[in-house]
Structure 1
Amino acid sequence: MKHQPTAPRELTDVFVRGFKNSFGKRVEIRDTKITGLVLRVTPKDKKTFTLHTRLITAEKVQITLGSYPTTSLKDARAFAMNHLAEIQRGHDPRQQARSAKAAAEALSLTFNALLDEIEPIFAVTKSTWRAGSRFGRTKSEARSAIENVFQSLLGKPVGKLCLPDLSKAVRDYKPKRPRKGKTSANGSAARALTYLRPVFDWAAHRGRFAKEGAGRDPKLHLPDLAQIHDPSIDDPTLEGKRERVLSQDELIRVMPLLVYPAPAGLRPELEPCKDYGPVAFRFILLTLSRREEVTEARRKDFDLQSGTWTKEVKTRRKPGSHGPAERRIVTVPLSASAIELLLSLPSFVQGQPEDLVFPSSGGGLLCNWDRTQEALNRLSATSGWHRHDLRRTAATILKQLRVKPAVIDTLLCHLNPYNREQVSSAAPAYLVDEKILHDAVDQERDAVNLLADALAKICKRYPTSDLSKSAATSSSLSLKRGPSPWASFG
């Protein structure tokens, strides 16, 4: 808005109180007593004191001191003199005002409200901050982890959060549903700390958020969570990078249990014909799939004529990329054994296109994987392995069968299966996963059939016992193939 300048004069209480603006524009009246002090008056006679001056860098600044009569002329002059003194010392009063505002906001902004702020921002580039990004979650993985560990602090103003309180929450966190023989939850606490640290760095303009415009506005003064000890480091029950694979002897004991109907007595609370858990484990092993891919598999995703499975797989975003991440759609070949397995399931043979192939006993998404895992461990007398280790075991078997790493990586549905092939990063854009020649060698299909052959030979070597006669009989449903090329078998 343009303003109407008037001649400078020494401002007085009587003048300020009685001045009326008759110019139809905003009026600015400079005070001759304090250099830079200006009285602004709008056409509606709203009066505001401002300071017009320059920083030591010669940058022009205008600082609002307050509205009259809430801020008196005496107070306005005192504020102006204080700001001028700060400028002489090389400070920027505007930054001090922002810091004061941030400090006041931090005393009213709760921990939970800060999470509400950051969730939609981080969700754009981080799948862990997107609701439903993992099977069975209504909240984002990161939000759930943070709320579990820091539950007692969520209603507290972030300005009152201190390192001892945050560290105590991490140190004292106990599992809500402790596993047998497990009394600590250091892995969960460490994961929550990992998710929360960039939130605090964003709000405090630390690390990669230190550049102008990268962090929260206004900046908050929050503790640096890098100074909190990670409890998982000293926990001997936690492992870092998993390299667990099942040995041949373990597979001999486990595989006859991975059947449908489930072995009698595996889970007494479930009828064997309603328990698709064990056979889902077998399908993971035969197809090198992730748990969530098998859980969400539907009848319409499979084309038995071409022997393929089309599925969504997770993808890892490149650092610095923007926009919502999308899951990739891939089509993978199925071995004859995997197809026979599908044809043995009532859910597949009798199901509608949208029906789940591996449903729960109630017809929904298969859950309680841990209970199935514990039951399998008990009956097979094995331990220390996880369902994801089946995927790693299958990949390791293919490596032992001398299948090319790029072929194995393709079956694992990793983003760039050519990163070991000494080709450029542009290779995936040109080597499209599309079958053009009908009579070309299908290396991926050959690989899954080699895998099925090797697993079939394992089952044939299983010594049938009273415990697993029915399981051993059922296990032959999808494993009747020719001699295995797995050379390690005698």
Structure 2
Amino acid sequence: MKLSAAALPSMPEGDHQDHVIPGLIFRVGKKRRTWTLRYRIGDKYSRDTLGYFIPNAPAESESMGLAEARAKAREMLGRVEAGVPTVEEKTPHPKESGGKTVGDVADLYEKARIKKGGKGTKTLPEALRTIRRVLKDYLNLPAKQFSKADLRKARDKVAKNAPQMSDRFMSYFGTCWKWAAQEDHVDYNFVSDTLKVGPGLVKRERVLSPDELKAIWDACDGPFESTNGVAYGRMVRFLMVMGQRKMEAGKLRYGDLIDGRWKQTEKQNKSGREHWLALPPLALELVGEGKANELVFAGEKAGVIGNFSQLKAELDKLSGVKGWRHHDLRRTASTHLQEQGVPPHVIDAVLNHAIQGVGGHYMHGALNKVKSEALAAWEGELAAILGKDARKAQ
């Protein structure tokens, strides 16, 4: 394969000769990508290391690209012709010269937190998954070269489509980088000096039309082949009826359903308070029956549904509805309730929004009766939108 700057990240393992500079070799190993130069002095051949290439490294890093490698090779060949030493000292790998990589720091932080235990251990797996996913392009970069500009770039990339996830990442990563600074893996924790963008960066106003609701509902019964896909289709329909958060439904177990009502404990929802909802007939048909410890919408190996983004993309193709999110189903349900004349405080109770300000201190009513009435009203309107077959569950 011919060497080019664009091809460097995807070159297969082995030695790749440059077609421009004789003796310049790009060696791809299992863990490193190394530039070497092979040359002859008299009857003896030598091979020296010029530098290392790190895929997706920022421009200011010590990663050596094709142009830099060719320039360095020309310089060394000139020294060979002049009869002077080619290399004064061993070329260090960027990981060695800059200490631990971003990925290394995340691994060490995870081990330290697990060993320490205590508060935050329960959310640690999700925190580390988020950090590694958002910073996937920087995991091989020396941690001391990871800059505030890199952080802002990663933050803003996520915030374009998921501002709340962006803020969550900043919180998770801030704790990790604070530990890294305390352990001298990085010079200082600049995360605390970097602003969160907040959900205000991308204001969501999408309310799905009746035609879009019907198209999505019908597509949920589409040709999903996997166990994840079948469960996902039922869950999306359930979210459409109930107006609750995606993962509250995703982690729902049959033991949480008591006499046709869904009980969420204070630890099972974002608002941190007990929340009861009576399931309308359409929702009851969708959940079916199962053992108390079984997930209602179980994916592969009876676990929580995986690959939400992939399944959502497939659903978009099947339905023909683009640019919507699962959370828009909540906004759609609440908007229709508003148009039906349901009081705002009842809609907030259905959505389980935390009461802000002084009201949160004094008002602790569960409003179970009016919540049930509001959901029943929404289910009646939704059934009319979907048509006479709406009550046929999968």
Q: Aligned AA for 1:365?
A: V
What is the identity, as a one-letter code, of the residue corresponding to 2:322?
A: S
Give the drift of 1:147. Answer: 5.3
Partner SS, residue 352 of structure 2: coil
> In the superposition, relative to structure 1, how do residues 124 and 247 fare at CA in structure 2: closer, same or farther (>3 Å)?
farther
Q: TM-score, normalised by structure 1?
A: 0.48
**What is the 5 A alignment of 1:43-442?**
112-113=104-105, 115-116=109-110, 130-132=123-125, 137=126, 140-145=128-133, 148-153=136-141, 156=142, 161-162=144-145, 167-168=149-150, 171=153, 192=169, 195-197=172-174, 221-222=187-188, 224=190, 240-258=202-220, 262-263=221-222, 266-267=223-224, 269-270=225-226, 275-304=230-259, 307-312=260-265, 313-315=268-270, 327-342=272-287, 345=288, 348=289, 351-416=290-355, 419=356, 424-428=359-363, 431-433=364-366, 442=369
C-alpha change, 1:394 and 1:116, in structure 2 (3 Å) is: same
- How many residue pairs align between the two structures? 289
Q: Is the 8 A contact 2:216 2:315 kept in 1?
A: yes
TM-score, normalisation: structure 2: 0.58
Q: Aligned in 2, Cα 1:192/1:131: closer, same or farther, shift over 3 Å?
A: closer
1:459 and 2:392 aligned: no
CA distance in 1, matches of 2:162, 2:282: 40
Is this contact kept in 2: 1:297–1:358, CA < 8 A?
yes
Relative to structure 1, the CA distance from residue 187 to residue 447 in structure 2 (aligned partners, 3 Å threshold; closer, same or farther) is: closer
- Cα deviation code 1:422-478 (max 9, x no counterpart): 9644223xx34287xxxxxx2111100100011011012xxxxxxxxxxx84x3327
Residues 362/162 of structure 1: CA separation in 2 closer, same or farther (3 Å cut)? closer
* 8 Å Cα contact 2:174-2:191 kept in structure 1: yes
Distance change >3 Å, CA 200–CA 371, structure 1 → 2: closer
Structure 2 residue matching 1:275: 3-state secondary structure: helix
Alignment of 1:13-52 (within 5 A): none
Shift, 1:378, TM fit: 1.6
Q: What is the Cα deviation at residue 190 of structure 1? A: 8.4
**1:457–1:409 distance in 2 versus 1, CA, 3 Å:** same
How far off its partner does 1:370 sit? 2.6
Equivalent residue for 2:94?
none
Deviation at 1:119, TM superposition (A): 5.3
Whole-angstrom CA distance in 2 between matches of 1:292 and 1:243: 21
Gaps of 5+ in 2: 1-97
Q: CA separation of 1:396/1:340 partners in 2, compared to 1, >3 Å: closer, same or farther? A: same
In the superposition, relative to structure 1, how do residues 410 and 310 fare at CA in structure 2: closer, same or farther (>3 Å)?
same
Change (3 A) 1:193 1:152: farther
What SS does the aligned partner of 1:476 have? coil
CA 1:314–1:144: 2 relative to 1, 3 Å: farther
CA distance, structure 2, for counterparts of residue 399 and residue 341 of structure 1: 25
Higher helix share: 2
**Percent of residue pairs identical:** 23
Are residues 425 and 377 of structure 1, via their aligned partners in 2, closer, same or farther at CA, if it must alter by over 3 Å?
closer
Residue deviations 1:346-395, cap 9 Å, x none? xx2xx222122112254322223333322322222210001121122111
Does the 8 A contact of 2:282 with 2:391 survive in 1? Answer: no
Residues 251 and 283 of structure 1: is their aligned pair in 2 closer, same or farther, counting only changes over 3 Å? same
Task: Tell whether the 8 Å contact from 2:246 to 2:327 is kept in structure 1 after alignment.
Answer: yes
Q: CA deviation at 1:404?
A: 1.2
Letter in 2 for 1:130: T
Question: Partner letter of residue 215 of structure 2?
Answer: R
Match for 1:248: what amino acid? P
Check 1:193–1:280 CA distance in 2 against 1; reply closer, same or farther (3 A cut): closer
The two structures, once aligned, show a CA RMSD in angstroms of 4.6
Distance 1:300 1:190 in 2: 33
| Alignment partners' CA distance in 1, 2:297 and 2:264 | 14
Q: Tell me the secondary structure at the aligned position of residue 314 of structure 2.
A: helix
- SS of residue paired to 2:136: helix
Q: CA deviation at 1:218?
A: 9.4
Question: Unaligned stretches of 5+ in structure 1?
Answer: 1-106, 176-181, 205-215, 317-326, 436-441, 461-471, 479-490
Question: How far has the Cα of 1:252 moved from its partner?
Answer: 3.0
Q: Distance in 1 between matches of 2:318 and 2:294?
A: 30
